[in-house]
Amino acid sequence: MAYRIAIDPGHGGRDPGAVYEGRQEKDDNLELALAVGQLLEDRGIDVVYTRMDDVYNTPMEKATMANNSGADLFVSFHRNAMPTPGSASGAEVLVYEDEGLPAEVGRNVLSELSEAGFTDRGVIERKNLVVLRRTQMPAVLLEVGFIDNLQDNQTFDGEFDQIAQGIAEGILESVGMDKTPEDERTLYRVQVGAFRESEYAYDLLNQLLAAGYPAFIIYEDNLYRVQVGAFARLENAIRMERDLRQAGYNTYITT
């Protein structure tokens, strides 16, 4: 079964989101979300959307749509704003808890967005947001620059293709699907267990998936190896290993 991602272009319809000098957040959100969704579909991801045009749904309705779709990951697209226009800049990712797959998606996406020209404002916990709290799968909310900041808008418009590509690559790396046939880069994985009996491996796999980790099983050398992630960057694998160790798992990094 294909990996399924729910894409949520924030706001819409009667809710424009942040507005600055006639520019409406809902329009930027939709444009970028559709572009990223197409890139993900091109790489074999099953993508579902909470909206594909200018319509309004409540945050709870969006969370319900994602839950009903059976998605494996929820990604909400937004742009930021401040009470005093121009007083802040950069990209950030909001998560319910800074751990597991949401944390990995957040840091991978922010790494890509910084390459496109945005300041990295980090992964931030927000437990009061409905689309993070009421979704039944790992969820992230992307704040792709400040709509009331001239430089951020210039980056958003001028580097749009790189931004969309970077977000897609950050997501694909996080879920272990960034390797294409022509891509022979070393991928780093975090191994959590190796078993001769498959039932023990699948028990651990289900435990990791329930906790939001991008876990899977590889069978080699007569062992069922339970691993997490497939990272192009060693530092991301190290971060995941640290998170897993803090959660009580015995781990090591392999390729």
With a CB cutoff of 8 Å and minimum separation 6, the contacts of 220 are none
What is the distance, to the nearest Å, from the Cα of residue 68 to the centroid of all Cα atoms in its chain?
A: 19
Cα 137 to Cα 95: distance, rounded to the nearest angstrom: 12
Cα 155 to Cα 145: distance, rounded to the nearest angstrom: 8
Farthest-apart Cα atoms in the chain, separation: 63
Burial 7-22 (b: 16+ CB within 10 A, else e): bbbbbbeeeebbebee
Identity (one letter) of the amino acid at 219?
Answer: Y
Cα 201 to Cα 220: distance, rounded to the nearest angstrom: 13
Cα 210 to Cα 128: distance, rounded to the nearest angstrom: 21
> Per the residue annotation, which of 25, 99, 143, 241 is the catalytic one?
143
Active site residue 143: yes
Cα 43 to Cα 216: distance, rounded to the nearest angstrom: 19
- The residues annotated with a catalytic role in the active site are 143
